[in-house]
Amino acid sequence: MRIDILTILPELLESPFKYSIIKRAAKKGLAEIVIHNIRDFSTDKHKKVDDYSFSKGAGMVMAIQPIEAAINHLKSQREYDEIIYTTPDGVQFNQQEANGLSLKKNLIILCGHYKGVDQRVRDHFITKEYSIGDYVLTGGELAAAVIADSVVRLIPGVLSDETSALTDSFQDHLLSPPVYTRPADYKGWKVPDILLSGNEKKIDEWKHLQSVERTKKLRPDLYKKFSEGG
């Protein structure tokens, strides 16, 4: 998979992809993430990427010209499956969306900024618009990093233990069960006996029950989906 990220703040996206599993995915040739500075595509003599809104008092808006140039430059090199725009007024990103994107070959993510992007960019280039939650970030860069991370880790071979992505929280609308490591007794705080029993079947039953109980208590919205089998 290749993900091209278009941003006016490339520095903000350098470190998230330099470390962790994303780096390993790149080394293994499973995923390539390329950051592009939208400013490099501006034909303005001051390399301007934004302009005043036609709606009074609405703040600055990201202009079409450099964004169209950046997208066309990429499209001339390969075909893209989706052109994603990160924005607080997008559809809320979730694990199902991540699963879907992980099957794609080439993605572009355009990071929103200021008061947003000229609506004509959304109308004519963008195929998916995502928010990562009901709160406002200063820009779409962190959202793009979140989306790329959640998608890349799902590509087969990226995680060392391939089954671990399948048992993630949310894959079946359930939160993960609690986990413990040594020591079995830390200052009197004990690991549940069942986990020390060695009875795999009983342990699996316990884990499932814990997942269900946790979900019911912490995320009644998810629990509803789980119990409806959706």
Binding site for ligand 6GU (CB under 6 A): 86-88, 112, 130-133, 135-137, 139-140, 143
Q: Closest distance between ligand 6GU and the C-beta of residue 16, in Å?
A: 15
Q: Would you say 170 or 223 has its CB closer to ligand 6GU?
A: 170
Is-contact 92 221, C-beta < 8 A?
no
Q: Would you say 54 or 135 has its CB closer to ligand 6GU?
A: 135
CA 130/CA 144 separation, integer angstroms: 9
Q: Closest distance between ligand 6GU and the C-beta of residue 36, in Å?
A: 18
Q: Would you say 10 or 139 has its CB closer to ligand 6GU?
A: 139
Residue 147 CB contacts under 8 Å (≥ 6 apart), including other chains: 84, 86, 93, 98, 101, 109, 130, 132
- 137: number of Cβ within 10 Å: 16
CA 1/CA 15 separation, integer angstroms: 20
Is-contact 41 66, C-beta < 8 A?
yes
Q: Closest distance between ligand 6GU and the C-beta of residue 127, in Å?
A: 15
Q: Would you say 12 or 203 has its CB closer to ligand 6GU?
A: 12
Q: Closest distance between ligand 6GU and the C-beta of residue 118, in Å?
A: 16
CA 135/CA 116 separation, integer angstroms: 15
Task: Decide: helix, strand or coil at residue 222.
Answer: helix
CA 150/CA 158 separation, integer angstroms: 11
Q: Closest distance between ligand 6GU and the C-beta of residue 53, in Å?
A: 16
Q: Would you say 140 or 177 has its CB closer to ligand 6GU?
A: 140
Q: Which residue is nearest to ligand 6GU (CB)?
A: 143
